[in-house]
Structure 1
Amino acid sequence: MAFTFAAFCYILALILCAVLIFFAIFHIIAFDELKTDYKNPIDQCNSLNPLVLPEYVIHIFFTCLFLFAAEWLTVIINVPLIAYHIRRYASRPVMSAPGLYDPTVIMNADELNRAQKEGWVKLAFYLISFFYYLYSMIFVLVSA
């Protein structure tokens, strides 16, 4: 059984995908706390904004690894979310610090619902990706 670069990519993607799942769960819980008035918007945005760029960088990083490993299907699966992240970050509100969430806008009911839906969709994507990477890792290791 040979250990290939593709197998390394899938193992690393599994670990990093687990981190992204944690970020998505934190995102969902944070907006639920905001919706139920458990936390104020300034504290919530101060805890969520530092996680935005690490999430994007981690996702782009392991997608680039799959690109170098010539795992085309995996790259194609990840590109739409990367495109969404880039579009979302490019159209973010004007702020002094990096991040997406502005405390003055986040309490708007439409914005709050959109952010919650975004968190649930990302969680579903990362969970499906996690099991796909697990299956692909086993397939690559067994077929090598």
Structure 2
Amino acid sequence: MAFTFVAFCYLLAMLLAAVLIFFAIFHIIAFDELKTDYKNPIDQCNSLNPLVLPEYIVHIFYNVLFLAALQFGTLVFNIPLIAYHIYRYANRPVMSSPGLYDPTTIMNADVLSRCMREGWIKLAFYLISFFYYLYSMIYVLVSST
């Protein structure tokens, strides 16, 4: 059974999707702590903002691998989230450091609920992606024999 480049791409994407699942869970927990006034918004934003760019870079990285492996169906599956990430980062609040979350506006009820909803949607997307990549990797390995 040959381990091809396509199978390697799916394996790496599956592992990186697991990392992104943990990022999404961390974001959901952080926003829940803000919602219940358990943590200070400044401290919470200082812990969330450094994770934004690594999340985007990891997601774009394995999609570049899918492009190199000519897996266009998987790439089309991921393009809406990539486009959303680009839109979200281009329209972020003006801050001195990279990130999306501004401590002065994060406690607004509508901003906080939007961030929570975004976290849950990303968690669902990354979970679906994880199992899709697992299935695709197994399919590629079985069909290559």
Same fold (TM over 0.5): yes
Give, in whole Å, the separation in 1 of the partners of 2:131 and 2:115: 25
Give, in whole Å, the separation in 2 of the partners of 1:78 and 1:63: 7
* Equivalent in the alignment of 1:104: 104
* Equivalent in the alignment of 2:17: 17
* Equivalent in the alignment of 2:68: 68
For 1:27-42, list aligned pairs within 5 A: 27-42=27-42
For 1:51-90, list aligned pairs within 5 A: 51-90=51-90
Question: Given the two structures, how large is their TM-score scaled by the length of structure 1?
Answer: 0.99
CA shift, 1:31, in A, is 0.1
Give, in whole Å, the separation in 1 of the partners of 2:42 and 2:97: 13
% identical aligned pairs: 78
RMSD: 0.4
Structure 2 residues not aligned, in runs of 5+: none
What amino acid is the match of 1:74? T
CA shift, 1:3, in A, is 1.1
Alignment partner of 1:137 is 2:137 = yes
Give, in whole Å, the separation in 2 of the partners of 1:67 and 1:141: 19
- What SS does the corresponding residue of 1:122 show, helix, strand or coil? helix
CA shift, 1:94, in A, is 0.4
Give, in whole Å, the separation in 2 of the partners of 1:104 and 1:53: 21
Give, in whole Å, the separation in 2 of the partners of 1:123 and 1:26: 10
CA shift, 1:2, in A, is 1.2
Give, in whole Å, the separation in 1 of the partners of 2:93 and 2:126: 26
CA shift, 1:35, in A, is 0.2
Structure 1 residues not aligned, in runs of 5+: none
* Equivalent in the alignment of 1:44: 44
Question: For this pair of structures, how many residues does the alignment match?
Answer: 144
Q: Which runs of 4+ in 1 moved over 2 A?
A: none
